[in-house]
Amino acid sequence: MSDTDWTLAARAHEPAFGDYIELLKPRVMRLVVFTAFVGMVCAPVAVHPVIGLASILCIAVGAGAAGALNMWQDWDIDAVMRRTAARPIPSGRVERGEALAIGLTLAAFAVVMLALFANPFAAGLLAFTIFFYAVVYSIWLKRATPQNIVIGGAAGAFPPMIGWAVATGGIAPESVLMFLLIFVWTPPHFWALALFRNDDYRRAGVPMLPVTAGDRVTRNHILAYSLVLAPIAIAPAFTTIGGPVYLAGAIVLDALLLIGAVRLWRRDPDAASRDRFLAEKRFFGLSIVYLFLLFALLLAEAALGAAGLTPAGWPALV
C-alpha cells in the first residue's frame, strides 16, 4: 500500500477519540507508569505527592508520545500483520501525519513539563527514552537486525530510572538494577511472542530471531536469557530497595520462569504447531506476570520500610 492509497483509505473513516488513545499504546503505557512509579517510591528521597503525580503523568504522556511515533513509523509493517492490522493508522482511522504531529507535540510537552515539575536530569532521561524508542529502535534496529529487541529493549527499561531520577536527580546502583531487570527480561518475553507470531513477522519482513535464525536457536536464546535474568532478579534483594519479602517472591518467580523456559527449550516445533503454541503463549503470559510481581514486591518492600518493618541487619550489599 502506497502513501497515496493509504490516504484515500484514511479519508473514508472519521477518527474517534478512542482511536487517538489507542495510538498512544495504553497497554504499554500501563507498564511504563507502574515501573516508573516503583522507581520513584523506592528512591531514598521522598517526593511531594503533587510533584510525584505530575511527574508520573509526564512520564505517561512521554510513553504515549513514543507509542504514537512508533505507530507512525511502523504503519506499513502493522498493515500486513494480523496482530496489528486493526491499529488506527493501517486501518485508516487516523492519518500518519496526525500521528506524527501528536507524537512530537506530546513528547515536547512531557519533557518540558517534567523538567519543570521534577528536574532537568529526569527530563533528559525521558527525552532520551522517547528518542531511543522512536528513532533508534523503530526506525533503525527493528528493520535492520535480529538483535532489534535485545538493544531496543533499553527503551522499556528506562522508566524506573526516570522515576528514581525524579526523586533523587540522578542514578544509583538500585535504579541500574531495575533497568537491567527489564532490559534482560525483554528478549525472552518478545521471543516467546515471536515464536507464535512468526508468520506475521516473516510476512512483514521484520528480522525477528525466529525468522532469521529459526525456531531452535530462538528457544536456546530464551533459555539462556532466562538463566541470566534469574540472578539479576535476585540481586535487588540485597540492596537498599530489597528485603526478605522480595527475596522470597523473586526465588519463587525465578523458579516458575525457568521451568517455563526449560519447557520451551525442550519443545519440538512440530508439537508446538500441533497445539497452536500453547506453551509459548503461556510463557509469554507468565513473563508479564513475572515482571509485574517483581516490581510489586519492590513496592511492598518500600511500604514495609516506610512502616519501619524492614528487619534490622538485613544484608544490603549495595
Amino acid identity of 194? A
The rounded distance, in Å, linking the Cα atoms of 170 and 256 is 34
Residue 102: which residues within 8 A CB-CB, separation 6 or more? 20, 23, 65, 68
Q: What is each CA distance from 10 to 68, 80, 294, in whole angstroms?
A: 17, 16, 42
- List the chain pLDDT tens, one digit each, 318 residues: 455 454 444 444 567 888 999 999 998 899 999 999 999 999 999 999 999 999 999 999 999 999 999 999 999 999 999 889 999 999 999 999 999 999 999 999 999 999 999 999 999 999 999 999 999 999 999 999 999 999 989 999 999 999 999 999 999 999 999 999 999 999 999 999 999 999 999 998 999 999 999 999 999 999 999 999 999 999 999 999 999 999 999 999 999 999 999 999 999 888 888 999 999 999 999 999 999 999 999 999 999 988 888 776 677 776
Q: ∠ CA 173-291-260 to the nearest 5 degrees?
A: 120
Tell me what pLDDT residue 9 has: 46
Tell me what pLDDT residue 312 has: 66
Tell me what pLDDT residue 14 has: 67
Let me know: does 114 contact 76? Beta carbons within 8 Å.
no
The rounded distance, in Å, linking the Cα atoms of 134 and 73 is 8
The rounded distance, in Å, linking the Cα atoms of 63 and 156 is 9
CA nearest to 178, candidates 58, 34, 63, 283: 34
Let me know: does 174 contact 108? Beta carbons within 8 Å.
no
Residue 306: which residues within 8 A CB-CB, separation 6 or more? none
Tell me what pLDDT residue 10 has: 44
